Amino acid sequence: MKYQLPLLAVLVLVSLPTAAQPVVLGQYNMAYPFPSPDGTHLVFQGDFDGRWQLYTLTLDGGEVQRLSTSLADDTHPAYSPDGRTVAFISNEPGNDDVYLLNVETGERRPLVPHPGKDGHPKWSADGEWVVFNRTFDPADVDGDIDAAILRVRPDGTDLEVLSDSDQIETFPSFSPDGRFIVCVEWFPNAAGEPARNGELIKVEIETGVRTRLTDNAVFDAYPYWGGEWIYFTVFDTDAEGQRRAAVHRMSADGAIVEQVTEPGPIPDVRAIPSRDETQVFYNNREDGRTVILMEALPPRG
């Protein structure tokens, strides 16, 4: 029997998404959307009662269902390719570790416990690996001194480091064929301050060869490798000094870059496309709360 807790809410979508009019999918603090493999719903982290837990949201009808229940914060969810398991982060042990949640039974287990800080797990397309970022020094509780990219089997075996530069590396994602990862690396900015400018890095897993996909003065972050495209967020400031962000996509070699949402005063955007890459889901801030938006993607250029 499928593990379910009582229904929380029904959210009505009042209009169809267009490139100029994204649809707000929630009315609470909701973040980190990740579409299900069958495209019927999202898994996300929601703060409805003072802590982050995992929930699902149907895209046809807007029903919200609680997926996890714990006394800790459960965050950063990502579906396995078969939709049976959600990888996520929990601070249940007192620090952030990668956990796996069985969607049918509700069983949860730590994947590779470690006293440092883990974050942002994602699955390979064949379901054979989970990639995530890890801070090895437990004293670096915020993960803002050093972080590396690792992968591990879903049974917790074959843990290995895929990339560990002198900078902070975070938010990894596999290429569809599993040969590469893309992540964001923090570089010194123009003023020479350490770890202040985010750039996208592609790493070939077999050889360790690193390719810098972006190199500019704006902050590039939150990459996710869809099918043909890598989706990411570009943060910059407007003429009035207001911080803003827009979702972009680029070809796997970085040669083609397209902006796919309008820039706005968005403090935090984590974009994930639908499986057919016709829509994109991302975070936004609205009236002091975090919401999830759904927006139609423009035709491919």
From 190, 182, 181, 187, select the one nearest 199 (Cα to Cα): 187
Q: How many CA atoms lie within 13 A of 102 on its CB side?
A: 10
Classify 83 as helix, strand or coil: coil
Q: Which regions of the chain are under pLDDT 50?
A: 1-20
Question: How confident is the model at residue 31, as a pLDDT?
Answer: 92
Q: How far is CA 266 from the centre of its chain?
A: 16
**Alpha-carbon dihedral angle through residues 127, 268, 138, 97, given to the nearest 10 degrees:** -30
Question: How confident is the model at residue 29, as a pLDDT?
Answer: 86
Question: How confident is the model at residue 4, as a pLDDT?
Answer: 41
Phi-psi region of 142 (alpha: psi -120 to 50; beta: other; left: phi over 0): alpha
Question: How confident is the model at residue 68, as a pLDDT?
Answer: 95
Beta carbons within 8 Å of 86's beta carbon, 6+ residues apart: 43, 54, 67, 77, 78, 79, 80, 100, 101, 103
From 229, 233, 210, 231, select the one nearest 221 (Cα to Cα): 233
Interatomic CA distance for residues 173 and 223, integer angstroms: 7
Name the one residue in this structure whose structure tokens are 């929601």: 46
What pLDDT, in 10s, does the model give residues 177-195? 999 999 999 887 666 665 5
Q: How many CA atoms lie within 13 A of 151 on its CB side?
A: 23
Question: How confident is the model at residue 239, as a pLDDT?
Answer: 80
Interatomic CA distance for residues 96 and 73, integer angstroms: 9
Q: Where are the domains of the chain?
A: 7-228
Question: How confident is the model at residue 226, as a pLDDT?
Answer: 94
Q: What is the DSSP string of 127-146?
A: SS-EEEEEES-TT-TTS-S-
CA angle (33 as vertex; 139, 262 as ends), nearest 5: 105
0.75 exceeded by pTM: yes
Question: How confident is the model at residue 184, as a pLDDT?
Answer: 96
Interatomic CA distance for residues 211 and 49, integer angstroms: 43
Question: How confident is the model at residue 301, as a pLDDT?
Answer: 59
Question: How confident is the model at residue 16, as a pLDDT?
Answer: 30
Give me the helices (H) in the chain, please: none
Interatomic CA distance for residues 33 and 35, integer angstroms: 7
| Residue spans of beta strands (DSSP E) within 36-179 | 41-47, 52-58, 63-66, 74-79, 85-90, 97-102, 108-110, 117-123, 130-135, 148-152, 160-163, 169-174
DSSP letter (8 states) at residue 50: S
Amino acid at 196: R
- Confirm if 225 and 177 have CB atoms less than 8 A apart: no
Which class is domain 7-228? mainly beta
Question: How confident is the model at residue 10, as a pLDDT?
Answer: 35
Question: How confident is the model at residue 135, as a pLDDT?
Answer: 93
